Amino acid sequence: MAYRNGVALAQRGSAVKFERPNHLRTPSSPKPRFPHSPGSAVRRSTSAAARSGDGVPGRVRVSVRLRPQNTEEMMADADFADCVELQPELKRLKLRKNNWDSDTYEFDEVLTEFASQKRVYEVVAKPVVESVLDGYNGTVMAYGQTGTGKTFTLGQLGEEDTSDRGIMVRSMEDILADISPGTDSVTVSYLQLYMETLQDLLNPANDNIPIVEDPKTGDVSLSGATLVEIKDQPSFLELLRVGETHRIAANTKLNTESSRSHAILTVHVKRSVVDSEDVVSTENNDASHLTKPSKPLVRKSKLVVVDLAGSERIHKSGSEGYMLEEAKSINLSLSALGKCINALAENNSHVPFRDSKLTRLLRDSFGGTARTSLIVTIGPSPRYRGETSSTILFGQRAMKVENMLKIKEEFDYKSLSRRLEVQLDNLIAENERQQKTFEEEVGRLNLEAQCRISEVERKFADALEKERLKCQMEYMESVKQLEQKLVSNEKRHGSNYFVDGCGEGPTPSSEDEVSEIRKLFENECNRRKAAEAEVEHLKILLGKNTHTQAGGDAEVIKVHSILEDEVNQKKKLEEEIIILRSQLLQLNFEAEQMKRCLGSERSVNASSAMDSSMSQVRHSQLKDTGNGQKASVATLFEQVGLQKILSLLDSDDPLVQIHAVKMVANLAAEEVNQKGIVEAGGLSSLLMLLRRYEDETVRRVAAGAIANLAMHEANQELIMAEGGITLLSMTASDAEEPQTLRMVAGAIANLCGNDKILMKLRSQGGIKALLGVVRCGHPDVLSQVARGIANFAKCESRASSQGIKSGTSFLIEDGALPWIVHNANNEAAPIRRHIELALCHMAQQEVNAKDMINGGALWELVRISRDCTREDIRNLARRTLTSILPFKSELRRLRIDV
């Protein structure tokens, strides 16, 4: 069966009427539309259309579309047969030379004048669009004579009838429907090539866009073109409307609105894809639960839709003047494109891409890496048989061009970073949940353990009470004997004793030694009285001799020497008396300790009635002991005098000095005595002992006395003025004994609580000296260090809030922060409490926030705000975390609630 334009020929006498689409009608023609003819062509799936042909996936696919006759052609060619005959089921086209001869051509698709726009899109462009969504570059181009329907095929907007939508609109619909708005993006540029000049249709002021070629890859880019991101179809339609208003067109004999430029729409698609995860196999070839992490990739592809200006012959189009120059430029660029396609079809070594800007832009489309689909449009009129033949031959040559398709993927580091951040946040949240579960389980186990311990303690107490009652009668006789012995000891020993102010324990003594020392003390007193009487007698004699000359100068000198000897002897006797009094009080204290030991034995073995009586005895003993200690110190102070005790600090006898500094330390422990000690020069004497003595006992007791004096604010400035902090720092660096270091640290800690001496204390090395004593590791020493740091942080925070001080904390500058963070959760309650308070005061200064976050103090502040036993410190930490901006930002980033 013969076909004429794809439809079976009717008998000569019958008339066949066709409705023509409005894109090809002349001004005088009505508004016909393309009828949808189900039998006009055999439908194929888009996948088959994408891979059909001669088995070469990268070959340029060429389709031919026939334009219907317009009104003018119906009238002019009524007596002539159409020069084109279509055989769509065979994908063939016959071009008649005359009534008896014709040439036959085969194409990838043959579309009749009744083919719908949807059919054209599915056959020509949809396989290319699918390839673009898979990561390949794609090109859809229309070529043909002026007035054959190229712009209608590609750029029709379909505002009046959606079925008339062209390839540009339908392509964007499929692209937007397939991408993910959250991870993918689509950007569009719209240009025209007019008179060998690239102009931006979206920004007419940009009328000379350069073409940039990558010297390594040969890829072409237009760096100056306007790129618009597309989110929805209406915005894309508006973009096409703007572009069409700026495109150059003119009225010719062949077309009322002939495009005088090549329009180039470029759609850039960026998609995020993830490789499939690889399963790690075990030795037994069993799939493991471990998988390699997937790789995030970015596929960048572009779809280029090219609406070429129509080729025309000057004598038929009637172009004159400037339109003539436009026609020449169009024909030159199309001629350059034809030369390139001929060279590629014949596999020539040189392809003249640089002869025209159009060929440079289409370098990737012909002979490159893009999937290209070309639609050639022709008309049925025999008057334009030459133009139709030229167009068909162009399409035939293009079918011989093969491209090397290549997917373009890049590693998506930003996506991987975002995914890892999400995983990290999930792991942190999971860790917090597990930690909370663990803490709840530990709390439950602790509660069960406490219940069991309470039960065991109760049972043990019952058993112990039974055992005590059982043994009570057995030990009654032993208790009576101990009571008799205790009564005899109380008769022989006094109850007064002297307690060493520095905490040294007593040593055992016998009754004979006590009696002997008492006798020596009485003898010394008698000798002192005799010496005083002798001195008075000598003074009387000296007075008498002043009125006589019998003795002469020799006797006067002798008397003076005797007096000096007596004075020295008196001084030594006084020192010995003080020492003997101290030893006597010490022995009394030892005797009391013996009585307490006997009392403790009695309390263990006595019955219930005896327990009550002995507790009353012990209470009276303790009361007498305390009263005895105070009475002994007061008595010694009254008998000897403060000035005399301070003068003994300079004695040459080490034993005398030790006893003297101990007495000063005991006196300094009472606030009522501190003012007198300072006014009498006791502070200077104690500092002098620290400076020149290496004896550990003297330094320890002197440091303790200075620590007692440093508790009074008035004495703190005097200590600093006389170089006390320097001497304490030297002692801290030299001493090794824990008790000495505890005294030194306590003195510095007291000084740290004075706002007025804060700067001077730090400049003279007080903070570094305080941190230096932590090498000892003794809990008592560390407790004093923590107290000093807390006092310093509190004063520094107050000075910062008042505007007296600015800048980073001195504690951070001197390197105290690591030690503070390390001991913030110390097992010892005094250390932990002081460190928690110091952290809260340091955190109140916003300038310290960055160093504290980097040093790990933020986590300790969070713990303090939740778990601190003291409510005031817990509230202070919570208020600081919610008011200081850097802490709030970091907690928000870590997703931690306070």
Summarised one tens digit per residue, pLDDT across range 758-787 is 888 888 888 888 888 888 888 888 999 999
How confident is residue 322, by pLDDT bands cut at 50, 70 and 90?
Answer: low
Q: How far apart are CA 19 and CA 156, in angstroms?
A: 18
Give per-residue pLDDT as tens, 100-144.
788 899 999 999 999 999 999 999 999 999 999 999 999 999 999
Q: Which is higher by pLDDT, 604 or 405?
A: 405
Question: Does residue 656 contact residue 526 with C-beta atoms inside 8 Å?
Answer: no
Which residues does residue 95 pair with via DSSP β-bridges, in sequence order?
84, 103
146: annotated binding-site residue? yes
Instruction: Of 55-64, 156-165, 630-639, give the lowest mean pLDDT range.
Output: 630-639
Question: Does residue 151 contact residue 306 with C-beta atoms inside 8 Å?
Answer: no
Average pLDDT of span 654-667: 76
Domain boundaries, the chain: 61-274+294-409, 412-469
Arithmetic mean of pLDDT over the chain: 76
State both tokens at 831. 């250390």
144: annotated binding-site residue? yes
**Cα 39–chain centre separation:** 67
The pLDDT of residue 555:
58
Percent of the residues in the chain that have a pLDDT greater than 90, as a whole number: 23
The pLDDT of residue 718:
82
Q: How far apart are CA 373 and CA 59, in angstroms?
A: 9
Average pLDDT of span 374-402: 91
Q: How far apart are CA 776 and CA 737, in angstroms?
A: 8
How confident is residue 297, by pLDDT bands cut at 50, 70 and 90?
Answer: confident
Using CB atoms within 10 A of its CB, is residue 772 exposed (0-12), middle (13-18) or buried (19+)? Answer: middle
- Which segments of 680-778 does DSSP mark as H helices, in order? 682-692, 696-709, 713-721, 724-734, 738-751, 758-763, 766-772
Q: Which residues contact 62 (CB under 8 A, 6 or more apart)?
A: 107, 108, 373, 374, 375, 376, 395, 396, 398, 399
Say yes or no to pLDDT of 500 above 70.
no
423: annotated binding-site residue? no
How confident is residue 63, by pLDDT bands cut at 50, 70 and 90?
Answer: very high
The pLDDT of residue 869:
85
Say yes or no to pLDDT of 614 above 50.
no
Q: How far apart are CA 660 and CA 644, in angstroms?
A: 10
Residue 457 to residues 116, 320, 464, 608, Cα–Cα distance (Å): 96, 118, 10, 22
Average pLDDT of span 139-163: 90
Give per-residue pLDDT as tens, 503-548.
444 444 446 666 777 777 777 778 777 877 877 777 777 766 655 5
The pLDDT of residue 208:
86
- Which segments of 349-412 does DSSP mark as H helices, in order? 357-361, 385-398
Instruction: Of 398-402, 418-422, 558-562, 661-665, give the lowest mean pLDDT range.
Output: 558-562
Round to the nearest angstrom and report the end-to-end CA distance of the chain: 87
The pLDDT of residue 201:
92
The pLDDT of residue 14:
33
Question: Does residue 607 contact residue 476 with C-beta atoms inside 8 Å?
Answer: yes
291: annotated binding-site residue? no
Average pLDDT of span 617-629: 41
Question: Does residue 96 contact residue 81 with C-beta atoms inside 8 Å?
Answer: yes
The pLDDT of residue 290:
47
Q: How far apart are CA 402 and CA 365, in angstroms?
A: 10
Residue corresponding to tokens 């014949």: 346
How confident is residue 285, by pLDDT bands cut at 50, 70 and 90?
Answer: low
Residue 22's CB: how many other CB atoms inside 10 A? 17
Say yes or no to pLDDT of 571 above 80.
no
Report which of 795, 895, 891 is spatially closest to residue 837, judged by C-alpha positions: 795
Instruction: Of 259-268, 556-565, 760-769, give the lowest mean pLDDT range.
Output: 556-565
Q: Which residues contact 800 (CB under 8 A, 6 or more apart)?
A: 806, 844, 845
Say yes or no to pLDDT of 48 above 70.
no
Q: Contacts by 334-338 with C-beta closer than 8 Å and gap 24+?
A: 334/143, 334/308, 334/309, 334/358, 337/362, 338/394, 338/397
Average pLDDT of span 246-273: 79
Q: Which residues contact 372 (CB under 8 A, 6 or more apart)?
A: 60, 61, 128, 138, 139, 140, 141, 365, 366, 401, 403
Range with the largest mean pLDDT of 6-15, 712-721, 814-823: 814-823
Q: How far apart are CA 353 and CA 373, in angstroms?
A: 19
How confident is residue 321, by pLDDT bands cut at 50, 70 and 90?
Answer: low
Q: How far apart are CA 815 and CA 150, in angstroms?
A: 79
Instruction: Of 39-48, 289-298, 447-456, 754-763, give the lowest mean pLDDT range.
Output: 39-48
Using CB atoms within 10 A of its CB, is residue 92 exposed (0-12), middle (13-18) or buried (19+)? Answer: middle
If DSSP codes are grouped into helix, strand and coil, which group holds residue 148? coil
The pLDDT of residue 312:
67
Report which of 371, 355, 451 is spatially closest to residue 406, judged by C-alpha positions: 371
Which residues does residue 410 pair with via DSSP β-bridges, in sequence order?
298
> Phi and psi of 113, rounded to 5°?
-70, -15
State both tokens at 262. 């090549």
The pLDDT of residue 331:
81
The pLDDT of residue 514:
63
148: annotated binding-site residue? yes
Report which of 156, 88, 84 is spatially closest to residue 121, judged by C-alpha positions: 156
Fold of 61-274+294-409: Kinesin (3.40.850)
The pLDDT of residue 20:
36
| DSSP one-letter code for 558 | H
How confident is residue 638, by pLDDT bands cut at 50, 70 and 90?
Answer: low
Q: Contacts by 879-886 with C-beta closer than 8 Å and gap 24+?
A: 880/840, 880/843, 880/844, 881/843, 884/843, 884/844, 884/846, 884/849, 885/846, 885/849, 886/846, 886/849, 886/850, 886/853
Report which of 399, 381, 375, 389 is spatially closest to residue 151, judged by C-alpha positions: 375
Q: How far apart are CA 645 and CA 380, in angstroms?
A: 135
Residue corresponding to tokens 């029709």: 156
Average pLDDT of span 578-588: 60
State both tokens at 638. 């009254």
Average pLDDT of span 62-74: 87
Indicate the Cα dihedral angle 34, 36, 39, 45, nearest 10°.
110
369: annotated binding-site residue? no
Q: How far apart are CA 659 and CA 508, in angstroms?
A: 19
The pLDDT of residue 411:
66
Residue 568 to residues 267, 532, 543, 572, 579, Cα–Cα distance (Å): 115, 12, 21, 6, 17
Average pLDDT of span 309-331: 68
Q: How far apart are CA 128 and CA 374, in angstroms?
A: 11
Q: How far apart are CA 422 and CA 428, in angstroms?
A: 10
551: annotated binding-site residue? no
Say yes or no to pLDDT of 34 above 50.
no
Say yes or no to pLDDT of 299 above 70.
yes
If DSSP codes are grouped into helix, strand and coil, which group holds residue 871? helix
Q: How far apart are CA 67 and CA 23, in angstroms?
A: 10
Q: How far apart are CA 615 and CA 623, in angstroms?
A: 12
Question: Does residue 211 contact residue 231 with C-beta atoms inside 8 Å?
Answer: no
Give per-residue pLDDT as tens, 446-457.
999 999 998 888
The pLDDT of residue 372:
95
Indicate the Cα dihedral angle 731, 737, 743, 746, nearest 10°.
90
The pLDDT of residue 582:
60
Q: Which is higher by pLDDT, 650 or 689?
A: 689
The pLDDT of residue 799:
86
Percent of the residues in the chain that have a pLDDT greater than 70, as a whole number: 73
| Torsion sign, CA atoms 363, 367, 369, 375 | positive
The pLDDT of residue 427:
92
Give per-residue pLDDT as tens, 823-866.
888 888 888 889 989 999 998 888 888 888 888 888 888 888 88
Which residues does residue 249 pair with via DSSP β-bridges, in sequence order?
259
Q: Which residues contact 515 (CB under 8 A, 6 or more apart)?
A: none
Report which of 118, 63, 119, 59 is spatially closest to residue 86, judged by C-alpha positions: 63
788: annotated binding-site residue? no
How confident is residue 602, by pLDDT bands cut at 50, 70 and 90?
Answer: very low
Amino acid at residue number 840: C
**Cα 152–chain centre separation:** 57
